[in-house]
Structure 1
Amino acid sequence: MNRAQHQLHITAEWITDYAQSIEAPLQAIHGDIIAPATMPIIFWKAFDIPWLNMDVPWIHGTQHFSYNAPIIAGMILDCELALTKVEKKTGSQGDLTLYTHTLVCAYNGDLIVTAETVLIRVGDQVE
């Protein structure tokens, strides 16, 4: 399937800006700022995702996060975004195509977070 990789430097400013945008309180461990649990959803902005046509409307389906450790300011994460499944269904609005993506981020070789996101296209087109 389709895959893209990107390295992300997680700064305290980035975490603070994201936390403020979702009105989440800042948290810290041993004085280090921790990213809110949903922050990996914005990591997508750093990726070139050639298999997604962003000129058409998408519906956000489901999203799940699984953490082995918190994301902490100062980390440089090695992330890979993969299209792991494409599934056609029929819904009340007609044909739907569900695109399941898995984002995996590691720090110094250790898995930090896995995030699974389903995006939905209405219609019968498959990208």
Structure 2
Amino acid sequence: MNSVRHQILMTAEWITDYAQSIEAPVQTTNGNLIAPSTMPIIFWQAFDIPWLSKGEPLLHGTQKFSYQAPITAGMTLDCELALTSKVQKDGRQGKLTFYTHTLVCKCEGELIVTAETVLIRVGDDHDEKMHNC
């Protein structure tokens, strides 16, 4: 399936700003700030995601995070965002397309976090429309 990669540098300032924005306490380990557990969801902003249309409204379905180690200030994360599933279903309001994404972030080759997110598009899938023209 489709995937994109991006390297993300975790700064203390970014962690602090995100924690304040969600009103979460800032924690530390060995003197380094720990990112709130939901922070990887904003990593998406760094990616150019070709299979999602920019500006098109999507509904947020589900989200889950699996951590092997905390994300801390000073880490450089090598992240890969992949579209792992695309399923169309008929809903009460018409067609729904469910996009399941997996974000894997590693630091120096070691797995740090895997995040799975499902986004939902209401209406016909654009790829399907293009093939029917």
Using the aligned pairs only, state the percent identity: 69
Q: 1:68 maps to what in 2?
A: 68
- The residue identity in structure 2 corresponding to 1:58 is L
Secondary structure at 1:36 match in 2: coil
Asked if the contact 1:15/1:35 (under 8 Å) is kept, the reply is: yes
RMSD (Å) for aligned C-alpha atoms? 0.8
Shift of 1:40: 0.1
Q: Based on CA coordinates, which of the two structures has the bigger radius of gyration?
A: 2
- Where do 1:24-63 residues align within 5 Å? 24-63=24-63
Q: TM-score, normalised by structure 2?
A: 0.93
- Where do 1:80-95 residues align within 5 Å? 80-95=80-95
Q: TM-score, normalised by structure 1?
A: 0.97
Q: 2:118 maps to what in 1?
A: 118
Over residues 23-49 of structure 1, what are the superposed CA-to-partner deviations in whole Å (9 max), with x where a residue is unaligned? 000001121100000000000000111
Distance 1:37 1:107 in 2: 16
Q: 1:6 maps to what in 2?
A: 6
Shift of 1:92: 2.3
Over residues 53-98 of structure 1, what are the superposed CA-to-partner deviations in whole Å (9 max), with x where a residue is unaligned? 0221100000000000000000000000000000011222221000
Shift of 1:126: 4.2
Distance 1:27 1:34 in 2: 5
Distance 1:114 1:19 in 2: 20
Equivalenced residue count is 127
- The residue identity in structure 2 corresponding to 1:42 is I
- Structure 1: any 5+ residue segments left out of the alignment? none
- The residue identity in structure 2 corresponding to 1:8 is I
Instruction: Please list every run of at least 4 consecutive aligned residues from structure 1 whose deviation after the TM superposition is greater than 3 angstroms.
Output: none
